[in-house]
Structure 1
Amino acid sequence: MPRTAGAATALALGASLITAYAASPATADPVPEEAGGLRIHDVQGTTRTSPYTGRTVADLPGVVTAVNPYGSARGFWFQDPEGDGDPRTSEGLFVFTGSGTPDVAAGDEVRVSGTVAEYSPGAGLQTITQLGDASWTVLGADRELPEAIGLAPGTVPAAYAPEGDDIGDLPLDPGSYALDFWAAGEHMRVRVEDARVVGPTDPFSALWVTTEPGRNATPRGGTAYGSYADANSGRLKIESLLPRDQAPFPRADVGDELAGVTEGPLYYSGYGGYVVKATTMGEHVDNGLPRGTAGGQRDGELSVATYNVENLSAASDQAAFDRLAEGIADNLGAPDIVALEEIQDDNGPADDGTVTAGRTLDRLTEAVSAAGGPDYEWRQIDPEDKADGGQPGGNIRNAFLFDPGRVSFTDRPGGDATTPVEVAEGDGGRAELSVSPGRIEPGADAWIDSRKPLAGEFEFQGRTVVVVTNHFASKGGDQPLHGLAQPPERSSEVQRNAQAGLVRAFADDVLEADPAANVVVAGDLNDFWFSPALEALTEDGGLHNPMLELPEEERYNYLFDGNSQALDHILVAPRLARRTDYEIVRINAEFHDRASDHDPQILRFRPLSGSRGTDAREEAHYGRPGRG
């Protein structure tokens, strides 16, 4: 009768259930120090937390369904094959054995004793009911495993969670809410069949599938996130318990399939919520998702792209530069202007006071030229050391590339890390910048520990164009979709909303100086097309968002936890709305092999002459051209 001791760390898995009950909290009789005669569903109870937490329970019967042999949080799952028929109570448990691999196998009939604990993967997250300091007796082998719960379309409720500041002790209602459905089957075996991949394989050997393939489906096989009210409850993370040397994890892209059965115990993780720890993996079917290429550019059109290049520095491998350069030169079609985000200093995360990024940008422009693109020039402003957030020591910032054969940059000296750019009315009624490049209100509280927007003045065919590249504050600190607070608090919105207000005010100043100014606001705004930050930029006659002209299921350029969502945007002055041709060029986010975690975007338009004397007939004549 082997015995292994548990500490306070665990691996995460969960399980799922069916139908609804009008649940009421479990009430338990006074519990003795060691409780015998119980079954797993008694320990699990009808809320997320066990009524036996902190108590020792003895001789729980069940059959081992899976063993986790990896990492320092090893253990095994066992499940009661009989059950009580109550959909609120899980029939599975995880036995935590720390760093020791338990000497049990799937199919072993066991009796397990141990201390009931609620393990939390992090603050604000749900907990996992498990046994620690456990001992067990194996009564037999090769028993039939309990049947896995089938997750067919319609099984998981569309409503995501009950409301509450802390839903941990609320009665479970698995027929009404997805998070209750998953929690009520924690640690039980679940099964998906012919599952479509909605989140590509990540560096940690995990991917996302959907149990609801018809819900908010994108044309390329993903699941679109288009509302705070719909978290897409059918998303489900898949990891593997199979021997890694015998069954390598599939390298899957969005729209691929795990054909046949994928099943295993359901666990809960701080990284994405509920996850199947697969003991059987469906066969990976590569459906050949194509990478996108931007459409052609017409005479008289200026092309402006935005691209988050994911912590690029001169310390990055040459392969990173080559992949990004190929995307710019080929997939984006060598835009006239490229607004870049996540350019780091010349030694990347090394924290030695370096803030310059010339070598980083030189390597990128050289790689673009080698890939057959133009000989780009670049402009940027070095930030103050460790003042702009991002990876510590990286001194992340925004930058411009531009093709001098197509467009010129209007250099006005004086812009630095702390000097704000201002707008004035220049010759001929055109708006001009006091410094170019320049930073928008760099001393404002909204930009503390965050990237400052970079404004630049360009000239294209005699017309002035003002471009602002942005990288708003991240969503770090927001409560997760799958946490205990429902709906989750989005605390990071406060800073982004303030940032959006400052950028909107700058755009308004340019348009006040010249109502016909060509203004482009681009970059990683770190927020959704339906968010308050985007509303602040576009409401009440503000900037125009051409993404809104796309069908809702196509408004995305980033994937997170199986949700296809929009973080990057290109906005234009309202008088340019009819003159734009906009594309999201899908080369990264949906693929396991990628140059960045963001898809770039490109906008092509015919600039206005940019003076108060602009004839409205020109605006009508150069309206947005039709494209077949």
Structure 2
Amino acid sequence: MPSKKSARLAALTVAAVCSAASTVVLTAPAHADSVRIHDIQGSTRISPYAGKQVTDVAGIVTGVRTYGSSRGFWIQDPQADDSPLTSEAIFVYTNSTPKGVAVGDAVTVSGTVQEYVPGGANTGNQSITEITKPTFTVVSSGNAVPAAKVIDAKSVPAVYSPQGDTAAGGSVNGLTLEPTKYALDYYESLEGENVQVADTRVVGATDPYSELWVTVKPWEHRNRRGGTVYGSYDSQNTGRIQIQSLGKTADFPVANVGDVLEGATSGPLDYNQFGGYTLVANRIGTLKSSGLQRETTQKQSRGELAVATYNVENLDPSDATFAEHASAIVNNLQSPDIVSLEEIQDNNGATNDGTTAADQTVQKLIDAIVAAGGPTYDWRSIDPVDKADGGEPGGNIRQVFLFNPQRVSFTDRAGGDATTAAGVTKVGGKAALTVSPGRIDPANAAFANSRKPLAGEFVFRGKTVFVIANHLNSKGGDQGLTAQFQPPARSSEVQRHAQVTALHAFVKDILDTQKNADVIALGDINDFEFSDTVKILEGDGALWSAIKSLPKSERYSYVYQGNAQTLDQILISPSIRRSCDFEYDSVHVNAEFNDQISDHDPQVLRFRP
């Protein structure tokens, strides 16, 4: 390699300006002259040189990112030290598109070491060690890129993360890495390095941002459709890793869950706001389809009542998905007698002009169902107070009951509106709602800026069934599984717990009035079947999440970061559960597919009241 002096004279030097970023400010050595990459990376997540200048850091360029908000290039030292704790690579953040640098260039870089937190410190995300405000010199070109380190089932530990340091608020940042013991430490020890996975199964379908998820552990909580199930807070699924590409978006594989990327996929290992550790590929394996098909549930018999929940993801009249949603309801769900719809928007969608009515949205769906060969559904709902129920601004999402009047009738009791609370009374010795449809405890602070439960009274073959449609507070704001805080905080639970406390009390009022009442609480619960949210809602046996009647490998309605998990549920009262004459089906038509029309899978319950 040429001397520093001759290299500076003979090669191109490029400077870039660092944009504002969330940084971790730490004390560091008073001065850092010429250091190696592994010195900068250190043996913890935070560089001992954070906030300091470094000069002439040498490495081979392994990848160049010319898009997005984090543009720059990765360099890797081909002369590794003997420590498995220290990464040999680092990202050089140029802010704008890097000029005059290419993969295979040997470079020296000077700049400021920074710990950048994707999404900002409030996310709780881990940081990426970067060199910012760089000047760099290309010493030579056409060099061999350091060989990719193989990430596979043998190399990734079974335990996900160390316990955070309580003295540091639960952060793992200051802990010495243990890459043979913890998966997150293993990935961190490879931060920025050229890595490779091979013959990996897709566990999260390609999304609109040209991202997908694979697993390097083929049998880790695998289900029959090729996904990886998240069945407890201790089964994070260590083999999951996100795949992005440094190539053209048009060339990115369009994959469903269960497909396989055959051969090698390789490139620098990054960390981002929405996926944690991510292989940003220079080379992507060949996609082999598994032929995954959308499921169809069983048709209810004449004496069975079929009740479904379906989150249609911000549906408004301007959407192009009505025919597809109708086909799913008619063909895949077999035209349930009652359908609880979540995320029905008002008549002009996200336009924020005070409109709250959703009759046009609902009627368009009903007409599409008829066109698909289904029944002419009737419907009931309550328009929310403008901008009071959260969701997409201007959309005024709400729950809506569809019901087939040829099979079931709705008991209307006047007086229900956005602010009137439904109550429970006794009529003819049996429980009845004071208003139907009605909202449960809408003035309760637990439902501030969130959807209020919608209660309705139905009659099937002379028997009353109480149905409560829910769309609880979202998990937005929770720290991710790859957060620097371990275990990650789930701050959104606080509001959900208050919501299900109120909901449980309402169900108890029904059951205290009529012990054998048939009650169903269903919808987008926005929490797992094993969560405390569901435990509170189930309470002392007032309700039971019927998805737990399925094998553990079948309990999912949503795929997030490669984890197949349960958010949508149907909970049933003891009279339904004790009969043992019910069937439950999580109908997988959306969550596993790249061309999904909603990110949720609908759920169906069939039983004999």
| TM-score bucket of the superposed structures, by smaller chain | over 0.9
One-letter code aligned to 1:133: K
Q: 1:238 maps to what in 2?
A: 243
* SS of the residue 1:339 aligns to: strand
One-letter code aligned to 1:87: P
Q: What's the CA shift string for 1:460-484, capped at 9, x where partnerless?
A: 1111111110001011121111111
- Residue pairs, 1:442-457, within 5 angstroms: 442-457=442-457
* SS of the residue 1:510 aligns to: helix
**Equivalent pair of 1:10/1:98 in contact (CA under 8 Å):** no
Deviation for aligned residue 1:11? 13
- Residue pairs, 1:478-627, within 5 angstroms: 478-577=478-577, 578-607=580-609
**Equivalent pair of 1:72/1:100 in contact (CA under 8 Å):** no
CA spacing shift, 1:407–1:512, aligned 2, 3 Å: same
* SS of the residue 2:321 aligns to: helix
Q: What's the CA shift string for 1:299-346, capped at 9, x where partnerless?
A: 2111100000101112x32x3111111100110000000011111111
Deviation for aligned residue 1:139? 2.2
Q: 2:394 maps to what in 1?
A: 393
Deviation for aligned residue 1:549? 1.5
Q: What's the CA shift string for 1:204-225, capped at 9, x where partnerless?
A: 0000001111111111111100
Rounded to whole Å, the distance in 2 between the matches of 1:4 and 1:481 is 36
Deviation for aligned residue 1:277? 0.5
One-letter code aligned to 1:216: H
**Equivalent pair of 2:105/2:140 in contact (CA under 8 Å):** yes
Rounded to whole Å, the distance in 2 between the matches of 1:3 and 1:189 is 24
Alpha-carbon RMSD across the aligned residues, in angstroms, is 1.7
One-letter code aligned to 2:325: L
* SS of the residue 2:173 aligns to: helix
**Equivalent pair of 2:210/2:249 in contact (CA under 8 Å):** no
Rounded to whole Å, the distance in 2 between the matches of 1:102 and 1:10 is 22
- Residue pairs, 1:162-181, within 5 angstroms: 162-164=162-164, 165-181=170-186
Q: 2:406 maps to what in 1?
A: 405
Q: 2:47 maps to what in 1?
A: 50
Corresponding pairs, count: 586
**Equivalent pair of 2:231/2:530 in contact (CA under 8 Å):** yes
* SS of the residue 1:111 aligns to: strand
Rounded to whole Å, the distance in 2 between the matches of 1:519 and 1:169 is 50
CA spacing shift, 1:120–1:556, aligned 2, 3 Å: same
Deviation for aligned residue 1:575? 1.7
Deviation for aligned residue 1:296? 2.3
Relative to the length of structure 2, the TM-score reads 0.94
Deviation for aligned residue 1:350? 0.9
* SS of the residue 1:77 aligns to: strand
Residue 140 of structure 2 corresponds to residue 135 of structure 1: no
* SS of the residue 1:290 aligns to: coil
Q: 2:343 maps to what in 1?
A: 342
Deviation for aligned residue 1:194? 0.4
The range that moved more, 106-115 or 298-307, is 106-115
Q: 1:196 maps to what in 2?
A: 201
One-letter code aligned to 2:190: G
**Equivalent pair of 2:13/2:138 in contact (CA under 8 Å):** no
Deviation for aligned residue 1:137? 2.1
Residue 9 of structure 2 corresponds to residue 6 of structure 1: no
- Residue pairs, 1:2-401, within 5 angstroms: 2-8=13-19, 30-32=29-31, 35-36=33-34, 38-121=35-118, 122-123=120-121, 124-164=124-164, 165-244=170-249, 248-314=251-317, 316-317=318-319, 319-401=320-402
CA spacing shift, 1:392–1:118, aligned 2, 3 Å: same
Deviation for aligned residue 1:107? 1.3
Rounded to whole Å, the distance in 2 between the matches of 1:405 and 1:71 is 53
One-letter code aligned to 1:120: V
Rounded to whole Å, the distance in 2 between the matches of 1:470 and 1:96 is 45
Rounded to whole Å, the distance in 1 between the matches of 2:554 and 2:362 is 31
* SS of the residue 1:195 aligns to: strand
Q: What's the CA shift string for 1:393-442, capped at 9, x where partnerless?
A: 11111110000111111111100011111111212x22211110001111
**Equivalent pair of 1:388/1:396 in contact (CA under 8 Å):** yes
* SS of the residue 1:425 aligns to: strand
Relative to the length of structure 1, the TM-score reads 0.91
Deviation for aligned residue 1:234? 1.2
Unpaired runs of at least 5, structure 2: 1-11, 165-169
* SS of the residue 2:94 aligns to: strand
**Equivalent pair of 1:585/1:601 in contact (CA under 8 Å):** yes
Deviation for aligned residue 1:168? 1.5
Deviation for aligned residue 1:538? 1.9
One-letter code aligned to 2:289: D
Q: What's the CA shift string for 1:240-298, capped at 9, x where partnerless?
A: 002345xx111100000110000100001011101010000000111110100011212
**Equivalent pair of 2:27/2:50 in contact (CA under 8 Å):** no
Q: What's the CA shift string for 1:4-24, capped at 9, x where partnerless?
A: 213136899xxxxxxxxxxxx
CA spacing shift, 1:574–1:353, aligned 2, 3 Å: same
- Over the matched positions of the two proteins, sequence identity in percent amounts to 52
Q: 1:611 maps to what in 2?
A: none
One-letter code aligned to 2:601: D
One-letter code aligned to 2:349: G
Unpaired runs of at least 5, structure 1: 13-25, 608-628
Deviation for aligned residue 1:56? 1.7
Rounded to whole Å, the distance in 2 between the matches of 1:255 and 1:103 is 40
Deviation for aligned residue 1:27? 12
**Equivalent pair of 2:520/2:573 in contact (CA under 8 Å):** yes
**Equivalent pair of 2:67/2:97 in contact (CA under 8 Å):** no
**Equivalent pair of 1:581/1:603 in contact (CA under 8 Å):** yes
